[in-house]
Structures are given as C-alpha cells and as structure tokens.
C-alpha cells in the first residue's frame, strides 16, 4: 500500500511541476485568447501569383577564357505574426518596407478592430532581402517563418529558346510575304505574322520578369491582431495544456508497461515450456 501511495504522489508531483512550468511560461510571454484563430493563421500560406525573380552572376576562369554563369532564382520568405499593438506594428512594417527600398505588390486587410488581419506581398531587391527579413522579424511575435529558394534558370533558358524560335518563324513569314503572291496567300501569311507577333509580345512580357532591372525577392507577411490574455485565462490555458500533455505521458507510460508485461509473460511462458520439454521425467533410466 505504501509503495502504491509513493507512486501516486510521484505522478502527482510530476503533474504539478509540469503545470507550474507552463504557467510561468504563459504568464511571462504573450498569449492570444483564441488558440484556434492563432493555429489557423500559423498554417496559412500566401496564395500570390506574383513572380519575382532575381539573378546571380558568377564568373569562372577556364582554359579558354572566362565563363559567365547567369542563374535565375525565386526566393520567398513567408512570415506570420501576432500583435497586440496592431496599429503601431503596422507602422513599423511600413517603415521597414520604406527603409529597405521595397515595394508593396499586394495588400489585403480584413476584420474589425480587435480581430484584424493584414496580409502583404512585398518585393525587395536581392541585396536588401536579408536585412528586410530581419527587420520584419521584429514586428509583433513571429509564429511561423519559412524561406524557399527555387532555381528558375531552366525556365528562363526555355523562354529564350522559345523567343528565338518565334523570331525565326516571323522572319520566314516576312520572307514569304516579300515574294508576293495572290491576295488569299498574302492574307494567310499576314495572319501568321500577326499571330507570331502576339506570341512574341507575350513572351517578351514574361521575360521582363527575369530582367535584371526587375530583379526582386518576395516577402509574404501576415499579421493578425490578438488580445493579451488575463491571468486567469493564462492559468486556464496552462491547466489545459499541462493536463493534455500529462495524459499523453501517462498513456505512453501505460502502453509501454503493457507491452513490457506481455513480452515478459511470453518470455516466461516460453522458457517454462522449453524447460519442460528438455527435462527428463523421474524414473527414466
């Protein structure tokens, strides 16, 4: 009975230590009153169709001269933030954008005061990208941060090859037009030229995103407004978290003990069975 009480007291002590640690953490840090709201936006990703491409040029010395590698890449930083000082933090964000010589490419605001949300897609020059991200990381309380870099060199070269192909087609059609012919044939050739010129114009617009003059990296930023939780709310959150964590711990502990018990029982039964089959009965000569 004493051993059982010692085990119960030890388990209760573990629970209270877990609760105390979580309560101290919650009381010392920001806690939003709506955890589901927080989780929703932490898992949210910006759905922007804007394409910002930067360039990385590097020269290599070879036996035949200097070879230039011109790499195109897309770099995106996605940040999600909570703020209890929404207006102040929004102004800090706009100051950071201005000081980083960045541009706001997309902005979306929604919600009423107390539960507002601000989403921005920001284009920033590659040389200012890291500094801009560091500035924006100081806005509110960052709850999610990812950076993705995707090579776009292959797509860029494909587009250049497609443009070259279209230019060759246009030259051939213009040569046919200059040879003359009947009205019907000339109209068909003229339609072909117009069609190719339309495709060339579209291709040039797409290639414009890859030009060094338009080189940008992307920062996707989401900030939502929360309310600082009171002491009772923080203690309740600590109680819920520690209880769920403790029950999970007990479940794992009981499952482990059950598996160990089954293994020991099987091992003991197997050992007994082997001893019975290998031992000789009394009276055998």
Mean pLDDT of the chain: 82
Whether residue 120 is predicted with pLDDT greater than 90 in this model: the reply is yes
* pLDDT given at position 281: 56
**Residue 83 φ/ψ, nearest 5 degrees:** -150, 135
* pLDDT given at position 14: 83
Band of residue 25 on the pLDDT scale cut at 50, 70, 90 = confident
Structure tokens at 264: 């020991």
CB 129 within 8 A of CB 75: yes
pLDDT tens-digit readout, 62-71: 666 666 677 8
CB-side exposure of 135: number of CA atoms within 13 Å? 20
Q: How many CB atoms lie within 10 A of CB 57?
A: 9
Whether residue 198 is predicted with pLDDT greater than 80 in this model: the reply is yes
Band of residue 34 on the pLDDT scale cut at 50, 70, 90 = very low
Regarding predicted confidence, which is higher, 76 or 253?
76
Angular region, 36: left φ>0, alpha ψ -120 to 50, beta rest: alpha
Query: Can you tell me the distance from the alpha carbon of 78 to that of 128, in angstroms, rounded to the nearest whole number?
Result: 16
Band of residue 107 on the pLDDT scale cut at 50, 70, 90 = very high
Whether residue 29 is predicted with pLDDT greater than 50 in this model: the reply is yes
Segment among 98-102, 142-146, 245-249 with least mean pLDDT = 245-249
Band of residue 129 on the pLDDT scale cut at 50, 70, 90 = very high
Segment among 23-37, 58-72, 101-115 with least mean pLDDT = 23-37
Mean pLDDT to the nearest integer, 142-157:
91
Mean pLDDT to the nearest integer, 192-210:
87
Whether residue 41 is predicted with pLDDT greater than 50 in this model: the reply is no
Mean pLDDT to the nearest integer, 77-91:
92
Mean pLDDT to the nearest integer, 26-33:
60
Angular region, 110: left φ>0, alpha ψ -120 to 50, beta rest: beta
pLDDT tens-digit readout, 167-182: 998 888 888 888 777 7
Regarding predicted confidence, which is higher, 229 or 257?
257
């Amino acid at each position: 009975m004493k051993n059982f009480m010692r085990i119960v007291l030890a388990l209760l002590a573990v629970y209270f230590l877990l609760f105390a640690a979580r309560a101290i953490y919650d009381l010392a840090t920001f806690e939003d009153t709506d955890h589901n709201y927080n989780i929703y936006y932490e898992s949210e990703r910006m759905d922007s169709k804007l394409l910002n491409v930067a360039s990385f040029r590097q020269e290599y010395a070879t036996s035949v001269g200097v070879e230039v590698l011109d790499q195109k890449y897309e770099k995106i930083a996605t940040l999600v933030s909570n703020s209890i000082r929404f207006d102040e933090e929004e102004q800090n964000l706009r100051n950071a954008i201005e000081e980083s010589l960045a541009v706001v490419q997309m902005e979306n605001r929604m919600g009423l005061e107390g539960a507002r949300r601000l989403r921005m897609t920001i284009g920033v020059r590659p040389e200012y990208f890291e500094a801009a991200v560091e500035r924006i990381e100081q806005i509110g309380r960052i709850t999610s941060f990812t950076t993705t870099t995707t090579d776009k060199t292959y797509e860029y070269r494909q587009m250049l090859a497609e443009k070259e192909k279209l230019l060759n087609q246009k030259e051939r059609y213009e040569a046919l037009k200059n040879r003359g012919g009947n009205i019907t044939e000339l109209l068909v050739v003229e339609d072909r030229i117009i069609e190719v010129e339309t495709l060339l114009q579209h291709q040039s617009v797409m290639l414009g995103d890859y030009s060094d003059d338009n080189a940008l990296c992307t920062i996707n930023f989401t900030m939502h407004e929360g309310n600082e939780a009171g002491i009772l709310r923080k203690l309740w959150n600590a109680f819920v978290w520690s209880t769920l964590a403790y029950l999970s711990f007990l479940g794992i502990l009981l499952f482990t003990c059950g598996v160990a018990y089954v293994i020991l029982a099987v091992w003991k039964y197997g050992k007994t069975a082997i001893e019975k089959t290998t031992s000789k009965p009394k009276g055998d000569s």
